[in-house]
Structure formats: structure tokens, C-alpha cells
Amino acid sequence: MRVTITDQEALRALSWKAVGAYLDAAGWRRIDDIPGKSVAYQHTDKDGRLWEILVLLRDDLADYVSRMADAVTTLARVEDRSELDVYDDLSKSGEAAVFKVREQIRKWLAEEGLLMEYFRDADSRFNLRVFLSGEQTVNIVQPISKADSVIIATHILLQDEMGVGFAKLPPQRQRDVILDLLRDLSLLGVEFRGIGNPLTAIHFFVPIFFDGLTKDILVHRMQLVSRALILSAGIFLHALEELDESDRPLEATARLLRFVDPTADGLLKAVG
């Protein structure tokens, strides 16, 4: 008895790159392609029968799942193996595990009523931007270079008028601000980069390994980078308020206030 895989999430988890690599290694011929959309493969078996598989190059296409199902079924017939065995070989690239992690994270965020946005970029397996309260957002990213973890990250920009305002502070006060940041962020336990001269942006981030990923840990790490953002914004706001009103960058000050306002302590209130 042959078992047919019908789980749509499992089929969507298959990477078109992994399927293409498998077909190339198995000697299937590329016969046609539509750049950025699909590649067609053909194979003639020992009985002279011609088989064809169409691999879609985008997993957001409406028929991606059905094409993956066709690929698994066709390979199972050609190789006289079970679909489960074929699926297992195709999913060994790790893309299926990444998909499951991403979908679990999306489910947890939806349970908390948090809005999110999915970005595609060449450096990440996935990148979710999560909208907290006020001006706060955090990104949950799995870089291509990280096979077993995600990174929770956010940042504060210090360019344009904010950087100009900071540059108007006395040099010793600028150094004090940087020392305060280094001390407080180190105590908070958040990794960071960008604190130097000149200051243009500070990035805050914490990693979570897959084997330790739970909803509670995800929420805690998001709280941590959110606090780092609020803390840093508060330090800069306090320093900029020392300037004469004519020198104070009003728009930047207003933006910092939206970060540090108690009602904007987003995740802490969103998850209770």
C-alpha cells in the first residue's frame, strides 16, 4: 500500500532549491525554464517512459503546494519508493525545519495579538517584523549563516537631526553618554553594536537556538531588546534635553519620547 502525502504545510516546507538539487543529482534533464518562476525537468526511465516535473522557484505561488505534491508522487513512482521516503530525502536540507520554526513563531505572535510583516531578503531564511506599541518594532530573523538559531533584533537610528543634536553636546558629555550606554546595556544582557564615533545607529540583538525555543523564551527575548531600545532612547533624550531649545532637534526628541513613554512599553503590556 502506498501512502500519499497530503499535508499542505509539509509540502510547502519543501525547498524548491532542495528539489532542484535532487533532480540534478539524479540525472534529470532541465528542458525549459521561466526565469524567476519555474524550471521543467524530464527523465526517461528504463522502460522508455518519459516523466516530467515542474519546479516552481517561488513558494508564494498559488500552485506551489500542488506542484510539490506532484514532484513527490512522480519521484516515488520513478524510483519505486514510498512518498514518505522521497519526502524525507527532499527535506534533509533543513528547509522544512526552518519552515516549521517560522510558522510556530507566527502562531505564537498571533496568539498574543501582535501584528507582523514578512520580509524576503537574500541574507535571511526568514525575517519577521513585529509591531509593538508606539514606535517600537522588533525583527525575528534567521540569517542564512545560522542553521540552528534565530535572532531577535531592533535598532535606534542616530542619523540626521538626532546625530547633529548629539554632536552639539560638549565632548565630555558625549563620552559620558556612550559610557552610560555601554554600562547599562552590558548589565541588561543584550548584545549590541554601533556604539562608536561617530554614532549613526545602535543595533540590539539576542539569539535563540532552536533546541531552546519556546513561547516564553521568545517573549522574554523580545522584551529584552525592547527594554534595550527604551533604555537607550531615554539616555539620549536626557542628554538632548540639556541643549538650548534652539539647538534641540525637535522631531528627534519627539521620536525619542514616543520610545520611552510608559504607554509605549509595547511587549510588556501586550503580553501582560
Question: Vertex 35, ends 31 and 39: CA angle to 5°?
Answer: 35
pLDDT reading at 164 higher than 60: yes
CA distance 238 to 262: 15
Contacts of 194 (CB under 8 A, 6+ apart): 155, 200, 201, 202, 203
Q: What's the pLDDT band for 199 if we cut at 50, 70, 90?
A: confident
pLDDT > 70: percent of the chain: 82
pLDDT reading at 262 higher than 50: no
pLDDT reading at 104 higher than 50: yes
pLDDT reading at 267 higher than 60: no
Q: What is the pLDDT of residue 16?
A: 87
Q: Model confidence over 82-91: pLDDT tens digits?
A: 888 888 888 7
Q: Cell match 542619523: residue?
A: 159
Q: What is the dihedral of CA 93, 95, 100, 106, to 10 degrees?
A: 160
Q: Which amino acid is at 194?
A: G
Q: How far is CA 142 from CA 97, 154, 267, in A?
A: 12, 14, 21
Burial class (CB in 10 A: 0-12, 13-18, 19+), 220: middle
Q: Cell match 513512482: residue?
A: 77
> What does the chain come to in residues?
272
The structure's pTM equals 0.60
Residue range 247-258: average pLDDT?
65
Write down the domain spans for the chain.
8-93, 96-270
Contact 149, 208 (CB under 8 A): yes
Q: In this structure, what C-alpha cell is assigned to residue 208?
A: 535563540
- CA 90 to the chain's CA centroid: 23
Q: Which CATH architecture has domain 96-270?
A: 2-Layer Sandwich (3.30)
